[in-house]
């Protein structure tokens, strides 16, 4: 047994595991690890936490709900406002009612699996369950690192998966029709066409300013995005560094911007590219309703605003654009995210590849 930095003890147990203990204000906290280094790192995390709050949490009495509230408070400064609001809503509605009263130290993987099953039976979507699991996994992983849990129970079960659904992919003719008939889309027609032309997210388009448009290069520079919190727009940088990028536009997409520019001049608005009649940021709900009405008017399949990015990137995939190029254009931080777009069009591309290989034999 030996002291570590004068605070706590580290020693090897008879079963081969390493153990560290730290006492603060009369309370003793114990953590375990397979190696000296692992348990020392856990001890340092406890020391840092004790130094910050002046005391150690009592994992024996703390409920999962209490821990999650404390965890969210310490994580709040690092989270975007909308992300924080989403976490708070999911905790309040989907996590705390079923699991909040359980002691943190008693939480087992089976409890989580049963809770997910109950939520799914109650109508929770696969996407919602994914988010719930992601939050719990992050929080419980911190509990493990801080020595409050011997392991992360969320790591010991299969994460909920959303069912794969085929999103409608329009033909080239329908995409062009959607893009060029901006007058039929009303106020937001140019915005919808721009999403198809650029493949960017609606929040990125709403953050676009005229100073971001390079008319000479025929491109736009994406460096900010607009999100909504309680129906109020919040502007900030993209989520990842990959989101800051320059996107070249097709000729028809650039023409849409020119038309919008003339409209902005007539309205005396030289700030945001896409705005309301009074120059404010459009609510995304209004944009969704405009797209739904336009699809119905043209007799086209109903799609979501987010699907416009999917359609744009899918057309690139079908045209043989390299994956890395599409990844950069979409602002995806990893190629795996872009592959999700390629999956449903891979069949056609695979047949094209087979035909190309046939050419090696002249077949």
In the prediction, which pLDDT does 219 show? 92
Residue 86: count of CB within 10 angstroms of its CB: 15
Residue 129: count of CB within 10 angstroms of its CB: 20
CA pair distance 54, 25, nearest whole angstrom? 8
CA pair distance 102, 132, nearest whole angstrom? 17
Per-residue confidence in pLDDT tens, the chain, 363 aa: 444 443 578 888 888 888 888 776 556 777 788 888 888 888 877 777 665 554 445 566 789 999 999 898 888 888 888 888 888 888 899 999 999 999 998 899 999 999 999 999 998 888 889 999 999 999 999 888 887 887 899 988 888 877 665 555 566 557 645 655 656 678 888 898 899 888 889 999 999 999 999 999 999 999 999 988 777 888 888 888 888 999 999 888 888 899 999 999 888 888 899 998 888 999 988 999 988 888 877 777 778 888 888 878 877 777 777 778 878 888 887 777 777 666 655 455 555 556 556 666 654
CA pair distance 76, 73, nearest whole angstrom? 5
Pairing label, strands 27-33, 245-248: unpaired
In the prediction, which pLDDT does 177 show? 59
Which of left, alpha, beta for 32 (phi over 0: left; psi -120 to 50: alpha)?
beta
Q: Which CATH number fits domain 172-352: 3.50.50.60, 1.10.443.10, 3.40.50.620, 3.30.110.60?
A: 1.10.443.10
- How many residues comprise the chain? 363
Residue 296: count of CB within 10 angstroms of its CB: 10
In the prediction, which pLDDT does 237 show? 87
Q: Which CATH number fits domain 64-156: 1.10.3720.10, 1.10.1040.10, 3.40.50.300, 1.10.150.130?
A: 1.10.150.130
User: Which structure tokens are listed for 75?
Assistant: 């994580």
Angle of helix 189-198 relative to helix 305-318, nearest 10 degrees, comes to 30
In the prediction, which pLDDT does 6 show? 38
Whether 185 contacts 299, CB under 8 Å? no
Distances (CA, A) of 361 to 213, 351, 352, 357: 48, 16, 15, 8
In the prediction, which pLDDT does 51 show? 59
Of the candidates 297, 281, 189, the residue with the CA atom closest to the CA atom of residue 228 = 281
């Amino acid at each position: 047994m030996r002291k570590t930095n004068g605070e706590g003890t580290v020693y090897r147990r008879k079963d081969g595991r390493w153990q560290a203990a730290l006492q603060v204000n009369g309370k003793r906290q114990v953590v375990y690890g397979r190696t000296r280094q692992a348990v020392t790192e856990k001890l340092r995390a406890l020391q840092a936490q004790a130094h910050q709050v002046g005391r150690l949490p009592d994992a024996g009495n703390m409920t999962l709900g209490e821990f999650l509230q404390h965890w969210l408070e310490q994580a709040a400064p690092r989270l975007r406002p909308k992300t924080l609001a989403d976490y708070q809503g999911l905790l309040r509605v989907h996590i705390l009612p079923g699991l909040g009263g359980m002691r943190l130290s008693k939480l087992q993987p089976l409890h989580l699996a049963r809770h997910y099953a109950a939520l799914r039976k109650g109508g929770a979507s696969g996407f919602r369950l994914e988010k719930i699991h992601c939050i719990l996994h992050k929080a419980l992983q911190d509990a493990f690192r801080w020595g409050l849990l011997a392991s992360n129970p969320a790591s010991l079960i299969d994460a909920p998966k959303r069912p794969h659904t085929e999103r409608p992919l329009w033909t080239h003719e329908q995409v062009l029709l959607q893009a060029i008939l901006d007058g039929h889309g009303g106020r937001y027609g140019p915005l919808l066409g721009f999403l198809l032309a650029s493949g960017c997210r609606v929040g990125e388009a709403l953050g676009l300013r005229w100073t971001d448009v390079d008319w000479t290069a025929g491109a736009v520079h994406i460096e900010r995005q607009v999100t909504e919190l309680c129906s109020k727009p919040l502007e900030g940088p993209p989520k990842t560094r990959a989101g800051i990028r320059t996107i070249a536009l097709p000729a028809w997409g650039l023409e849409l911007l020119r038309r919008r520019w003339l409209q902005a001049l007539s309205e005396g608005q030289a700030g945001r590219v896409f705005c309301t009649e009074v120059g404010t940021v459009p609510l995304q709900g209004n944009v969704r309703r405009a797209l739904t009405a336009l699809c119905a008017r043209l007799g086209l399949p109903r799609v979501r605003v987010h699907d416009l990015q999917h359609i744009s990137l899918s057309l690139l995939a079908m045209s043989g654009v390299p994956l890395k190029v599409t990844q950069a254009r979409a602002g995806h931080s990893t190629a795996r995210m872009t592959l999700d777009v390629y999956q449903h069009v891979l069949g056609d591309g695979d047949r094209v590849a087979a035909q190309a290989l046939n050419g090696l034999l002249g077949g």
